[in-house]
Amino acid sequence: MAPMSMSRSSADDRRPVHRGTVHDVGRYLRELRRNLSGRWRLRGAHVLSAYKRTAAYRRYAQRRELYGASDVFARSALRRVYDQSRYGSLGYHIWFSRRIPGWTKGAEVVELARVSASLPENAVVVEIGSFLGRSAVLLAGARKVRGSGTVHCVDAFDGSGDAFSTPIYDAIREAGRLPLRERFNRNIHQAGLSEWVQVHSGRAGDVADAWTQPIDFLFLDADQSCPGVRALYAKWSRHLKSGGIIAIHNSTASDTQDASHSGPTRLVQQMIRSPEYTPIWCMSSTTFAQKV
């Protein structure tokens, strides 16, 4: 009996020790991994914030902001996987749009695509100010997903506009080998959207004078000066259907960098109001509103 009880008690003694050891090693490894990754994360964050304080980074960020160029991550395959898993069928077009220089960014990117996708069959979408096609890809990609509709892109394609923006358009135009219109065409073609886009090349005011179709979704992103955007709003908003949606880019006060660039913000403050429009909502620097 004695040896049996001894062996049982020694086995009992060993078991908790054994289980405890495995348990401890597991916990130790998990803690080690947490500490290590925490430490690396901390180091990475320190290095990044130190770099962000350098003049070189500030110059890079300012240039990127000014010239609307996308960063390396925005164009990466990883971002594509992310956009497609997060935004479903719109994800590819959202990702493709990020590759094109332009100024739509953050939540407004997704909202432009979502609103365009939410429109009825054969929707008429009009974009005033297309530049290289960054936002056109969002609007037209969504219509391709829905399988009907046309996105009308209105732009002079000559880099004209308000006094704040024209030197920036010129710099981008001079940096590219092809004229703006050809670069726009190439981007739309590469995005697989040519048959969803109709281009109206010319002054937006002149195009409006000859316009006859009721519009489901009007995106204003051309002249950013007060008189310029007011004149375009006056000519184009009358074609917006009752129940149609208007989106005005660059229209939040925080986005106003220069007096000659504050037209959209003023326009929204003065004209986009209830009861003519409801609901009114804002995403990044774009104001969206539904005409009553």
Closest approach of ligand SAM to the CB of residue 169, in Å: 5
CB-nearer residue toward ligand SAM: 5 or 245: 245
The residue of the chain with the least Cβ separation from ligand SAM equals 102
Closest approach of ligand SAM to the CB of residue 73, in Å: 19
Q: Enter the tokens of residue 221.
A: 């992103």
Closest approach of ligand SAM to the CB of residue 81, in Å: 24
DSSP state, residue 290: E
The rounded Cα 73 to chain-centroid distance in angstroms is 14
Closest approach of ligand SAM to the CB of residue 154, in Å: 6
Q: Enter the tokens of residue 265.
A: 């913000």
CB-nearer residue toward ligand SAM: 9 or 143: 143
| Residues contributing to the site for ligand SAM (CB under 6 A) | 102-104, 129-132, 134-135, 155-156, 159-161, 169, 203-204, 221-223
Please give the Cα distance from 79 to 241 (Å, whole number). 36
Residue showing tokens 């009308």: 152
Closest approach of ligand SAM to the CB of residue 131, in Å: 4
Secondary structure class of 175 (helix, strand, coil): helix
Please give the Cα distance from 142 to 197 (Å, whole number). 12
Please give the Cα distance from 241 to 33 (Å, whole number). 58
CB-nearer residue toward ligand SAM: 15 or 239: 239
Closest approach of ligand SAM to the CB of residue 269, in Å: 20
Secondary structure class of 126 (helix, strand, coil): strand
Contact by Cβ (8 Å): 239, 255: no
Please give the Cα distance from 79 to 50 (Å, whole number). 25
Burial annotation 175-199 (CB, 10 A radius, 16+ → b, else e) = eeeeebbebbbebbeebebeebbeb
Closest approach of ligand SAM to the CB of residue 159, in Å: 5
Neighbour-count burial of 155, counting CB atoms closer than 10 A to its CB (0-12 exposed, 13-18 middle, 19+ buried): buried
Closest approach of ligand SAM to the CB of residue 104, in Å: 4
Burial annotation 204-216 (CB, 10 A radius, 16+ → b, else e) = bbebbeebeeebb
Residue 201 burial (CB count, 10 A) = 14
